[in-house]
Structures are given as structure tokens and as C-alpha cells.
Amino acid sequence: MVQLYKNRFIRVLVRTIVYPFVQRMIHRDLAQLRNDVNRRLVDIDASDMRVAYIRSDFWLNGNSSNGAMAHTIGVVNALKHLCRKVIVYSICKINYLSDDTRQTITSPKGCVLGISELQEMEYSHYLAEKIYPLLNAEKPSFIYQRYGRNNYTGVLLANKLNIPCVMEYNGSELWMADNWGGKIRYRKTTEEIELAVFHAADLIVGNAQTLKDELVARGIQPDKIVIIPNGVDADKFNPNNSGAEIREKYNMAKDDIVVSFVGSFGPWHGAEVLAQAAAKVVKANPHVKFMFVGNGGGLPKVQSIIRESGVESNVIYTGVVKQNEAPNYLAASDILVSPQIPNPDGSPFFGSPTKLFEYMASGKAIVASNLDQMGQILFHEETALLTTPGSAGEVADCIIRLAEDAKLRKTLGQNARDEVVKKYTWNTHVKKILEALNKGNK
């Protein structure tokens, strides 16, 4: 279908027949949500709650190693730990969940397979119809969904079952398309769905204050929005791991100081800032090695900067690593860098990078941008060294300083570990969600 869509006749057919059909179906579904304006909350102990977790993003891959997948795994496992029962309903199997987590896989099906936006829209309706009988039999206490583009399954099912829907929100798909690339063909409908979902959700969970400000500006009721920073599994990421296997794999010498970046090389990650800092660092200390962990659209630019700087012999590219192997790569490092850059349109940075909390839990020295939430979670000279966002010179100076001061690395790493264990585990994150959902705790 993707190839056929390039044909002009097929494009006209889709616009004139298929899209109007899907749009009518969506409007019927959204009309049900508009008739339901009362918030639903629960009044039972967390230990007795039964949760239906829905993840329907079309880009989702069960083996993904990005922050979004780390978030999904962290939240589901914490729900599993705190609640009576959790069942995951997903477009594909999600790996690395607790072994006894039950998953129900529902693959896309319909007349618009291969046309991404229409397929997403149709899948919302299809998934709701497919799993409604299952949820009706399971009687979940509430539905939890990570919002994905064009998907309103969670709120539609909550409406039918008269139970709460918790909607996790990580940023507007419309904004991301406008600022980070990618065209939304059916923009008006996507916006209608996005707003309908937020109005219908009983509780919206965001990870940064900027997201609440944005939603309120769009007319969403402020008292149903709760802001909770992301978290980490502090047992999985811990300083007791030596990382020896990784250092041996990449022939790192005992006296090498390994500086690492972990990410999907998105436009907001700022990996190129670290690449720009590399030459100055290596000139000051040739024992420093840089390790870029992951893959993504920004990697070629990073590699080009490194190549032009002439420090390729001091740089390692690992490619994508599995979620369960990530702790070993952090453990093999001495310094971890999170060089995020500001949003291109000047709006506040709305991220809560999962890697930041994984860095902290690993007990390593951190160099990070002093950017919105990152500058609120970390404290300069106490749990990290903070830099002006986008300043490769400051990043280089901080790395040089840490490379020469093992005592400072140890102190910052231990302080960061203590802070994250106390405040930012996934269990703490989910407990706050359950408290906000349970009207008995209000």
C-alpha cells in the first residue's frame, strides 16, 4: 500500500473515499467522549487495583532501546509491583517486562494498512472493539495509556466501561512534527483527536511543568493534570556493576577515562555538542575516550564532526544496545554526558530524560545542560556539573576537570545516586500517580 500510495490515482482515491470514511468513524467515536464530562476516580487501595495498560504507538518495537521504551518498561513493572494485576495491551510484544506480566497483542488490520496516519486512526477504533470484551470480563480498576499520535482507544474504552483513564502525555505530536521534522497530512483531525483525548482523560500525567502549562493554555482542566518527573529502576542501574566486559570488548585501557553519551540521537539530545567538545578534551588529556551509545538520525552529523576534528581514534560508536545491556555501558564509563539543547522555536524544554535518572542511579559523574527540568533535578557542584545549553566549550572544560579529579567524580556520582534513590525511582513515580487517581487520598 505504501508503494501504491505514491501513485496519483491512489492518492486521490484515499483523499476522496478512504479518509472521509475514517473521519466519519472518528467523529462518531469522539462524539461519545464529548457527552462524558464527569471525571471518574477510584477509591480503593493500590494493592487491590487491576490495571489495563495500553501502548499503541505504530513506531513501537518490542526491542527498542530508547527512553520511551525505558519509560514503558519502568511504569509497567512498577504498576506490577504495586497493584494486584496488570495486563498490557499492545501492538507488539514488549520485551524486558517482568516475566509474569501478561500481554495481549493486537496487530493492525483494515483497509488502510501502510498509510500511517489513517492506519493509526482506524486502529484506535479497531483496538477498542477488539479488546472491549476482554476488559469487560477482566473488570480493570482503571486504564493507563501512553498517548500516541491519533490514538484515543484508552478514553473510548474508559467511557464504555465507566472507569477512569490515566493518559500519559510526553508532548504534542503536532509540535514535534512542526519542529523536529515530519509532515502530518491530516493535521486537523490529528488535532481534534489530541484535544478530545485530553478533555476526556480523567487524569493526565506529564513529566515537566511546561507540559501542564501548554495543556492549560489549550483549555484543559488544570486540576486533572499531575506533573511527575521520570524515574529509574535503581536496582538495575547501580554502581556495583564494574562494566569490565564492556571495557574489555572495546579494548579500553585501565587508565582510560571513558566519557559516554547514551541516546537515540534525536534533534533535542545535543550529541553534536559533545562531539564538538571532543577535540579540546583529547588535546588536554589523550587518555580520555568517548563512547557514543545508540543510533539515530543525528549520528552521521556526530561522526562528521569527530572525523573533521581528527580524534576518531579516541571515539567508539557502539550502535544500538539492548535495554537489558544498557546498565553495563554506563558502568563501563567514568563520566556521563547529557548535553540537551533548547527547543528550536524558543519554547521551554519539556523533556524529562530517562537517561538522566539512569546516569544518576549508576553513580557516575554527570555533565548536563542546565536546561529546565534538568537544572531542577541536578545541583551544580553537588550532583553534577551543569553547563550552558549548547556550549561545547563548557562541556569540554567540565570533562577535563572531572578527568583529572577522581575524588570529585566519586563525590558527584555518590550524591547523584543518593538523590535518585530517594526521589526518582519508578515505584515512587507510579505511587504518585495512584495517589492522584485515588480520591480517597485527596
The pLDDT of residue 122 is 86
pLDDT digits (tens, 9 = 90+) for 191-239: 999 999 999 999 999 999 999 999 999 999 999 999 999 999 999 999 9
- Residue ranges, comma separated, of all CATH 3.40.50.2000 domains in the chain are 2-231+427-441, 244-424
The rounded Cα 184 to chain-centroid distance in angstroms is: 21
The pLDDT of residue 199 is 93
pLDDT digits (tens, 9 = 90+) for 2-15: 444 455 555 556 66
Q: Which residues contact 430 (CB under 8 A, 6 or more apart)?
A: 75, 78, 79, 82
- Separation between Cα atoms, residue 295 and residue 298, nearest integer Å: 8
pLDDT digits (tens, 9 = 90+) for 243-259: 999 999 999 999 999 99
Query: In whole numbers, what is the pLDDT of the chain averaged over residues?
Result: 89
Q: Where are the beta strands (DSSP E) in 56-208?
A: 85-90, 102-105, 142-146, 165-169, 203-206
The pLDDT of residue 2 is 45
Answer for the pair 66, 57: CB distance below 8 angstroms, yes or no. no
The pLDDT of residue 68 is 84
Q: Which of 127-155 are b and which e, b meaning 16 or more Cβ less than 10 Å from the residue's Cβ?
A: bbebbeeebeebebbbbbbbbbbbbbbbb
The pLDDT of residue 5 is 46
Q: What is each CA distance from 286 to 82, 290, 303, in whole angstroms?
A: 48, 11, 19
Question: Fold for domain 244-424?
Answer: Rossmann fold (3.40.50)
* Residue whose entry in the numeric block shows the C-alpha cell 490515482: 9
All 3 cell numbers of residue 232?
Answer: 529509574
Q: Which of 241-277 are b and which e, b meaning 16 or more Cβ less than 10 Å from the residue's Cβ?
A: bebeebbeeeebeeebbbbbbbbbbbbbbbbbbbbbb
CATH 3.40.50.2000 fits 2-231+427-441, yes or no: yes
Ranges of the chain whose pLDDT falls below 50: 1-5, 113, 440-442
Q: Which residues contact 280 (CB under 8 A, 6 or more apart)?
A: 392, 393, 396, 400
Q: Where are the beta strands (DSSP E) in 265-405?
A: 288-293, 315-319, 335-338, 365-369, 385-387
- Separation between Cα atoms, residue 224 and residue 204, nearest integer Å: 6
